Amino acid sequence: MAFLPQEIIRKKRDGGRLEEAEIAFLIEGLTSGRVSEGQAAAFAMAVFFRGMERDERVALTRAMMRSGTVLTWDLPGPVLDKHSTGGVGDTVSLALAPAVAACGGYVPMISGRGLGHTGGTLDKLDAIPGYVSQPDADLFRRVTGEVGCAVIGQTADLAPADKRLYAIRDVTATVESIPLITASILSKKLAAGLEGLVMDVKAGNGAFMASAEEARALAESLVAVANGAGLPTTALITDMNEPLASAAGNAVEVAYALDYLAGRRREARFHEITVCLGAEMLVLGKLAADLAEARRRVEEAIASGAAAERFARMVAALGGPADLVERPEKHLSAAPVVRPVEAGTAGIVAAIDTRAVGLAVVALGGGRTRPQDGIDHAVGFTALAGLGQMVGQGRPLALVHARDEAQAEAAGEALRRAYRVGTGAPPSHSLVSHRIAE
DSSP calls for 43-69: HHHHHHHH---HHHHHHHHHHHHTTS-
Which has the closest alpha carbon to 168: 47, 83, 277?
47
The pLDDT score that the predictor gives to residue 286 is: 98
The 10 Å Cβ neighbour count of residue 393 is 8
* Predicted local distance difference test score (pLDDT) of residue 77: 97
Q: Which residues of 166-176 are buried (b: 16+ CB within 10 A; e: fewer)?
A: bebbeebebbe
Neighbouring CB atoms inside 10 A of 107's CB total 28
Helix axes 268-284, 291-303, angle to 10 degrees: 120
Distance from C-alpha of 284 to C-alpha of 226, rounded to nearest angstrom? 13
Whole-angstrom CA distances from 86 to 21, 305, 344, 415 are 33, 27, 29, 20
- Going by C-beta distance under 8 Å and a sequence separation of 6 or more, which residues neighbour residue 216? 203, 237, 434, 436
CA distances from 289 to 279, 283, 303, 433 (A): 10, 6, 21, 23
pLDDT at 140: 93
- Looking at the whole model, is its pTM more than 0.85? yes
What integer pLDDT is reported at residue 113 of this predicted model? 65
**299/230 Cα distance (integer angstroms):** 29
Q: What are phi and psi of 404, to 5 degrees?
A: -155, 175
Domains, the chain: 5-65 (1.20.970.10), 80-327 (3.40.1030.10), 334-422 (3.90.1170.30)
Catalytic residues: 81-84, 121, 169, 184, 188-189
The C-alpha atoms of residue 15 and residue 53 are separated, in whole angstroms, by 11
Q: What is the pLDDT along the chain (438 residues), one digit of tens a residue?
A: 679 999 999 999 999 999 999 999 999 999 999 999 999 999 999 999 999 999 999 999 999 999 999 999 999 999 999 999 888 999 999 999 999 999 999 999 988 765 566 667 888 999 999 999 989 889 999 999 999 999 998 777 888 999 899 888 878 888 889 999 999 999 999 999 999 999 999 999 998 888 999 999 999 999 999 999 999 999 999 999 999 999 999 999 999 999 999 999 999 999 999 999 999 999 999 999 999 999 999 999 999 999 999 999 999 999 999 999 999 999 999 999 999 999 989 999 999 999 999 999 999 988 876 656 778 999 999 999 999 999 998 899 999 999 999 999 999 999 999 999 998 888 888 999 999 998
In whole angstroms, what is the distance from residue 363 CA to residue 357 CA? 10
